[in-house]
Structure 1
Amino acid sequence: MTAASSADRARATASAAAVITDEQGRVLIVNPVYKERWNLPGGHLEEGELPRAAARREVREELGLDVEIGDLLVTAWVTRAEGSHVFHVFDGPRLTAEQQQAITLQESEIGEVRFCLPEDISPDMVPPFALAVWRRALLARAQQQPAYLELAL
């Protein structure tokens, strides 16, 4: 067995998010105050934190909702000039009208939320790599089969 080359070894930051929908199947997206574009609810993993636990914690922090996080939909390794990042996207709940009214924004991080039909989420709303990850997550959700992506930008 030979040692792996430096190209085969990679370090990356990681985050976890959830695909949360309403009763019409629209996807909940959040508008962070510290970024120009929309995102799924979620955020960076803390040291030693498991991805599913991070997704649940982030949804609780950002939206004030303590909800069950379902199965993994997609793991995406994205390599950009500034470094690599691993996105873990999980299946989230379908929110009732009562749960939607209970959303309480963490104002230091989230400016607003909205529900969008997947086809209405355009490339100008989210970074192009994020849109590819989201679309693959929605397909994985529909097919009930998780996916893995590697994207180099």
Structure 2
Amino acid sequence: MPTPADMTPAEWDAYLAEGNAKQARKRVAADVLLRDEDGRILLVDPNYKPDWDLPGGMAEANEPPDEAARRELVEELGLRVNVGGVLCIDWVSPHGPWDDQLAFIFDAGRLTRGEIAAMRILDGELDAFAFVDEDEAARRLRPYVWARLRAALDALEDRQTRYLRDGQRVAA
């Protein structure tokens, strides 16, 4: 086999394509932490899950996570917000029929009363949305989602992105 320096551009592209076809692909979830003017957290109630969740969703093929979060907010709630920095990334191990995934939470800031008043459920995946305090969020969310959100809230406070594995912080 020729070395990369000896390959033509077409040979190099074919070599990369072969490697790409063999490498693992990751599912990516992209959620946001959005708060109201009082600091309460926006949660959504998806009708295809038993519990409440953060707004956001799954990235499509070749879609950057921040753009996926932005797209999901527009599609589900009609919200156009700036998706800011990454608060946490959680590597979620394989579970049930699912392979592993990377779950991001981005900071999307605070919504004004006017922005909240304009919010509407725009697709059939959501039954409701609500702004809740941390105690209520802990009650409504699945434990691993709450752990991820708790890490995101801590990251928001000290401006240190968190890396988690299955909701548990990985030591620095």
Q: Same fold (TM over 0.5)?
A: yes
**How big is the shift at 1:102?**
0.6
Q: Which of 99, 108, 111 is the aligned partner of 1:95?
A: 111
Distance 1:140 1:37 in 2: 24
Asked if the contact 1:79–1:152 (Cα under 8 Å) also holds between the matched residues in 2, the reply is no
For the residues of structure 1 that align with 2:34 and 2:77, how far apart are their CA atoms? 11
Q: CA deviation at 1:37?
A: 0.5
- The within-5 A match list for 1:11-50 is 11-50=25-64
Opposite residue 46 of structure 1, the aligned amino acid is E
The count of corresponding residues between Structure 1 and Structure 2 is 144
Q: 1:129 aligns with which of 144, 159, 167?
A: 144
1:148 partnered with 2:163: yes
Q: What SS does the corresponding residue of 1:121 show, helix, strand or coil?
A: helix
CA RMSD of aligned residues (A): 1.8
Q: Which structure has the highest helix share of the two?
A: 2
Report matched runs for 1:105-124 at 5 Å: 105-123=121-139
The 8 Å contact of residues 22 and 95 in structure 1, kept in 2 or not, is answered as yes
Cα deviation, residue 10, structure 1: 6.0
Instruction: State the partner residue of 1:60.
Output: 74
Distance of 2:115 and 2:59 partners within structure 1: 25
Q: Secondary structure, in 3 states, of the residue corresponding to 2:93?
A: strand
What's the TM-score once normalised by structure 2's chain length? 0.78
Asked which structure has the greater CA Rg, the reply is 2
Identity rate, percent: 36
CA distance in 2, matches of 1:13, 1:107: 22
CA shift for structure 1 position 118: 1.4
What residue number does 2:5 align with? none
Q: Shift of residue 11 of structure 1?
A: 4.7
1:81: how far off? 2.3
Structure 2: runs of 5 or more not aligned: 1-22
Task: Detail structure 1 runs of 4+ shifted over 2 Å in the superposition.
Answer: 9-12, 80-83
The equivalent residue for 2:154 is 139
Structure-2 change in CA distance of 1:10 and 1:62 (3 Å): same
Distance 2:71 2:153 in 1: 21
Distance 2:167 2:151 in 1: 16
